[in-house]
Amino acid sequence: MKIAWRLSLLVVAGILALTALARVSEAQNAKVKPVVITEEQARWDKQMRMGTAKVRLVTRQELYVQLESNPTTGYAWQVVRQDKKQLKLLRKYFVAPKQKLLGAEGTEVFRFQALQDGSSSLQLRYSRPFDKSGKDATLLTIEVSVGQKSQPSENSEKK
């Protein structure tokens, strides 16, 4: 009788331990809020047509880069530098303007996911793809830092 009781107690303790481990694992894998970078959040040198921003991410966290764009003029945002081992481009899409005016600006959205720890630069250029001189290009450089621990970012918000 004592052996059966002890065995039952061990089974219950094992189930409780496995349940606790599952909850810890769920908490660690819970989706972290994406970080959103917009043109307004970057520091710009208007004369040089260059902007910079910094962002901290954790592994598997998503980064949304939302930039004003007007493809009817021939201009578009393109990724010109990216560490593909650290950041994966998941999707690029265009959000049309709410006003149905001819030539109105919309928003180009780049959705990335952090893959591994480290630091790198993500660079995007707003230009006409066929214009190789690049004299009218606008450049945005985002310094990306990816780490294990969740660190609050001033650019965190729901998407």
pLDDT at site 103: 79
pLDDT at site 21: 42
Percent of the chain predicted with pLDDT > 70: 74
Q: Which of 112, 114, 76, 73 is nearest to 94 (CA)?
A: 76
pLDDT at site 149: 62
Task: Reply yes or no on whether the pLDDT at 131 is more than 90.
Answer: no
| Distance from the Cα of residue 94 to its chain's centroid | 16
Using one digit for the tens of pLDDT, what is the confidence trace for 16-57? 454 544 443 343 445 789 999 998 989 998 778 899 999 999
Q: What global pTM score does this model have?
A: 0.72
pLDDT at site 106: 92
Q: Which residues contact 70 (CB under 8 A, 6 or more apart)?
A: 103, 104, 105, 106
State in words which class domain 35-147 has.
mainly beta
Place of tokens 């393109």: 78
Distance from the first to the final alpha carbon of the chain: 58
Q: Which residues contact 127 (CB under 8 A, 6 or more apart)?
A: 75, 76, 78, 134, 136, 137, 138
Q: Are 147 and 60 in contact (CB under 8 A)?
A: no
Task: Reply yes or no on whether the pLDDT at 83 is more than 50.
Answer: yes
Q: Bridge-partner residues for 89, per DSSP?
A: 112
Within 1-155, residue ranges assigned H as helices are 2-29
Supply 5's token pair: 């009781």
pLDDT at site 20: 47
Domain ranges of the chain: 1-30, 35-147
